[in-house]
Structure 1
Amino acid sequence: MADNPLDYLVIGAGPAGLQLGYFLHRAGRTYQILEAGPAPGQFFGTFPRHRTLISINKKHTGWDDPELNLRMDWNSLLSDDPELLFTRYSDRYFPHAGDMVRYLGDFAERTGLRIAYDARVVRVDRPGDQRGVFVVTDERGRRWEASRVIVATGVTRPNVPPIPGVETADLYGTVSTDPADYVNQRVLIIGKGNSAFETADNLMETAAVIHVAGPHSIRMAWRTHYVGHLRAVNNGLLDTYQLKSQNALLDGDVRRIIRRPDGTYLVTVAFARVDEVTKDIPYDRVILCTGFRFDASIFAGDCRPDLVINDRFPALTPAYESVNVPDLYFAGTITQSRDFKHGTSGFIHGFRYGVRALHRILESRYHDVPWPARMIAAQPGPLATAVIDRVNRTSALWQQFGLLADVIVVDGDGIARYLEEVPYDLQGPPIGERGHFAITLEYGPDHDKADPFDIEVARISQSDSARAHEGHYLHPVVRHHRPGRPPVAHHITENLENEWDSEEVHIEPLRAFFARQTASAMSVPI
């Protein structure tokens, strides 16, 4: 074993690996990033297959505040260099994937990150006990040793459902994207996510019939507020379906795929809407667009992480650490088990903040660096001002809604500590005898069940602070956590422009909440 193992070994030089590398580099830690390919961001060299990202690139916001602009910039990594913003690489609202490859390459070069390319990891060992040094080996036999490993490889394996005959279907990652290869053909696409509809839209001008199949109803991102659900940029097929243009959605299970001698298919579908009545349907092509999964095959038995969600993702603690392997951490899209099909941890605009939180956790745990904090007076006015200032400009709480929280710890000498962007469930029990306040941005309960375009749906007046807790749309929530008591929550009324700065509607009710809660907290004897 090496006398001086690295502090950190990061596997993968995609967006998450580069983002963590930036923070490690700036902190002066010993680290190495291992990348399987010859350059950063290899995933974006292939995906999405039709080369249009669904992460928005809104350059013109009307704001001069860089923090606010990150709310509308879903592609930039966090850094102190204003030149390293993705908005400088494309003018398109939905940019080309090639621009992401170029951006990530420049980010790695300009920040001077220590990256070993063509270093595909084939094994991660931890000889000895569970607190020993990790030994990581690449396919060329090179070995690295580190006290901690952070996996930022993304989801690299196709998620193939157990359908008899599925091995005869084409995979999204390798199927032809040339519409000329599908002229006058009947095409079945299995899956109802963005990759499926992206594929379908590409074939509408040439295919005779396109069916998109899956057991669940499609979910629209504009309704659920989960950006991984079907986006408007990919839903052109829905028009053709409802306007009787030969294409259709099949709501049900694909039970069997048979490849016939002439190369065509016969597919058995059990329809959910008609009590699982089955039908055999002929197709010329079958394409599997059912997503991806994490590849855990590189881990030796002594440090193999537990998996969740049908073994698609690593099981994580609130600190982004493996639940069963100490000192093994994860970053990037593979942390989406933290808010699966709900939040933004699967996407750059979400996990860039998760990576920053992870770095602060590592600094605190292993280098005695406390979580960054500023001091404010523990009085209703200053507390309300601090919260209003933050919720009106923070991009981290905006993007990682309900997952990251600002935390105000009330000390006994009239001073409070304000900590930013702490994983909400990392807080644990109330901090101190007087407890702490947690500030999040959240959608209302059952927000995904309300049609935001239905004028008959009850809406909360933006001037009705007493009913703020009933709002469906994104709004700030402040909770007071105290020992032995349930949290007390205060909701700040939603606002069309997301500007919570009205003295009467937003600030004064919050100030009154702090007055009640601090008076109660200060009555606790210390």
Structure 2
Amino acid sequence: MSGGPCLAARRPGSMNFPTPPPLLDALIIGAGQAGLAAGYYLRRAGATFVLLDAGPAIGHSWSARYDSLRLFSPAWTSGLPGRSWPGNPLRYPTKDGAAAYLAGYAAHFRLPVLLNQRVTSVAAALAGAYPPAAAYLVRTAAGQEFAARRVIISTGPYQTPNVPAFAAALPATVRQLPSQQYRRPAQLPGDGPVAVVGSGNSALQIAADLAATGRPVFVAFDEKTPALPNNTLMWALLRLTGLLAVPRHTGLGRYLHRRPEPVVSGDLARLRRFANAQLIGRADAALPAGRLQGRRATTPVLEAIVWATGYRPSYEFVHLPIFDAAGRPAHERGMTAAPGVAFLGLDWLDSRRSALLHGAGPDARRVVAALLARREQ
């Protein structure tokens, strides 16, 4: 599916017009759960499309995460459209199990995924290149070029680590690692004090992972963060009440969106059982001596810090006016002002479930239907 050079690359005065790449009905950037769900619905609609993924394998973003990671939802409530998880539906799958499920999903539905294709540019095609409607040219670092009437950006919210600015005050003797790069305790130097900064489930799991080695672990966790049980009853109630599916644009949705994300109460309780783990409250500052200041306590001089402080999106490759002044995607339930361009897989794209595995299907069904309804005009 490779094409020739972009039309804009024609040499001035040349009479040789390069042949543009074949026009697809749609192109999906990112073959994670959201992208695969979109591919499922495009396949059902009979559309011509490809999925481009920067990774070397489907599910790589899962398999590359820390060794002890498990899904925060059970298998029975984590399926994509058309295919449930194999095995015990009550289990909480491992990160490698999640990667295998996604790879099996793509193979089962024969989705056209192209790997090692990091997208470097998404731009509007020259006017008249693909009449009568708008089209987009997509380039990858591997030198491939594609054209499509519709583009779905499903690279997700977890792209660039959001490390606080005060981290720059720490000396070079403190190893700093974003949670995206953390795999196992042996990565961190020495056996002295380390810190984990963050108020989410990943922070709790990583802190417990490190505390299990016996070394002192200081956790900069905001203890005002709500905690909920994570069991079959809770998930059944959430599904029955529909709370996870409440749209953000409703009054209840706006209220839920303003609430802090809860953590798993069992993970918090497990961490508290380690005598060598101390919660120091939300981190306020880093000291040049190599210590971290929390609202409840200050750490001793640290050997390493894992920053589990979230991510910010990175869309430098998208050359379209579909972002707000802060660089965030500007969309209405995934649909942008650019004809035929949409986002999927973002936190609260439509509801709380949007960035969860089981929320990928409903969002993809709605977005794909809306995109295909915009016929060439």
TM-score (norm 2): 0.75
Q: CA deviation at 1:28?
A: 0.7
Decide which of 13, 25, 36 is 2:54's aligned counterpart: 36
Contact persistence 1:37–1:119 (CA under 8 A): yes
Change (3 A) 1:213 1:359: same
Compute the displacement of 1:185 (Å): 2.2
Aligned equivalent of 1:235, options 268, 271, 279: 268
CA distance in 2: counterparts of 1:90 and 1:98, whole angstroms: 16
Structure 2 residue corresponding to 1:116, chosen from 102, 105, 114: 114
1:43-192 alignment to 2 at 5 Å? 43-57=61-75, 73-79=76-82, 84-86=83-85, 88-89=86-87, 93-128=91-126, 132-154=134-156, 155-165=158-168, 169-178=176-185, 184-192=191-199
Q: Is the 8 A contact 1:148 1:328 kept in 2?
A: yes
What RMSD over aligned residues (CA atoms) do the two structures have, in Å?
Answer: 3.2
Tell me the SS of whatever aligns to 1:326. coil
1:222: Cα distance to partner? 4.1
Give ranges in structure 2 of 5+ residues lacking alignment: 1-6, 8-19, 128-132, 245-260
Aligned partner of 1:266 in structure 2 is 291
**By how many angstroms is 1:6 displaced?**
1.3
Amino acid in structure 2 at the alignment position of 1:8: A
Question: Structure 1: which 5+ residue stretches go unaligned?
Answer: 58-72, 369-526
- Closer, same or farther in 2 for the Cα pair 1:246/1:35, shift >3 Å? closer
Tell whether 2:359 aligns with 1:350: yes
Structure-2 change in CA distance of 1:115 and 1:215 (3 Å): same
How has the CA–CA distance of structure 1 residues 33 and 45 changed in structure 2, closer, same or farther, with 3 Å as cutoff?
A: same
Residues 437-516 of structure 1 aligned to structure 2 (within 5 Å)? none
Give the AA of the match of 2:373.
S
Task: Find the counterpart in structure 1 of residue 280 from structure 2.
Answer: 250
Other-structure match for 1:199: 206
Structure with higher strand content:
1
| Residue pair 1:316, 1:338 contacting (<8 A) in 2 also | no
**Structure 1 length as normaliser, TM-score?**
0.55
- 1:7 counterpart = 2:25: yes
| Counterparts in 2 of 1:221 and 1:296: CA distance versus 1, 3 Å | farther
Structure 2 residue 358 is matched with structure 1 residue 325: no
What is the CA distance between 1:125 and its match in structure 2? Answer: 1.3
Q: Distance in 1 between the 2:114 and 2:349 partners?
A: 28
Q: Identify if the C-alpha distance between structure 1 residues 91 and 179 changes in structure 2 by more than 3 Å, giving closer, same or farther.
A: farther
**Residues 1:285 and 2:304 are matched in the alignment:** yes
> 1:236-293 CA distances to partner (integer Å, 9 max, x unpaired)?
455337xxx34222223331253x6xxxx22234x2x7xxxx8574222211111223
1:195 and 1:232 mapped to 2: Cα distance? 13
Q: In terms of Rg, which structure is larger?
A: 1
Aligned partners of 2:226 and 2:262 also within 8 Å: yes
Q: What is the distance in 2 between the residues matched to 1:136 and 1:108?
A: 22
* 1:305 corresponds to: 322
Amino acid corresponding to residue 297 of structure 1 in structure 2: E
> In the alignment, what sits opposite 1:316?
331
What is the distance in 2 between the residues matched to 1:158 and 1:336?
A: 19
Pairs within 5 Å for 1:336-485: 336-339=348-351, 343-366=352-375
**What SS class does the counterpart of residue 135 from structure 1 fall into?**
strand
Q: How many residues align?
A: 324
Structure 1 position 187, deviation (Å):
1.7
- 1:294 is the counterpart of 2:310: no
CA distance change for structure 1 residues 314 and 363 in 2, over 3 Å: closer, same or farther? same
SS across alignment from 2:281: strand
Indicate which of 18, 21, 25 corresponds to 2:43: 25
* Maintained 8 Å contact 1:182/1:207: no
Structure 1 residues 335, 174: closer, same or farther in 2, change over 3 A? closer
Closer/same/farther in 2, CA of residues 97 and 175 from structure 1, 3 Å limit: closer
Structure-1 residue corresponding to 2:219: 212
Letter in 2 for 1:268: Q
CA distance in 1: counterparts of 2:195 and 2:185, whole angstroms: 16
Task: Report if aligned partners of 1:185, 1:207 keep a CA contact under 8 Å in 2.
Answer: no
Letter in 1 for 2:322: P
Give the letter for the 2:292 counterpart: V
Distance in 2 (CA, whole Å) between partners of 1:184 and 1:19 is 44
Higher relative contact order (CA 8 A, sep 6+): 2
Q: CA deviation at 1:161?
A: 2.0
CA contact (8 A) 1:314 1:337 kept: no
Provide closer, same or farther for how the CA distance between residues 56 and 121 of structure 1 changes in structure 2, counting only shifts above 3 A. Answer: same
- In 1, the alpha carbon distance for the partners of 2:340 and 2:94 equals 37
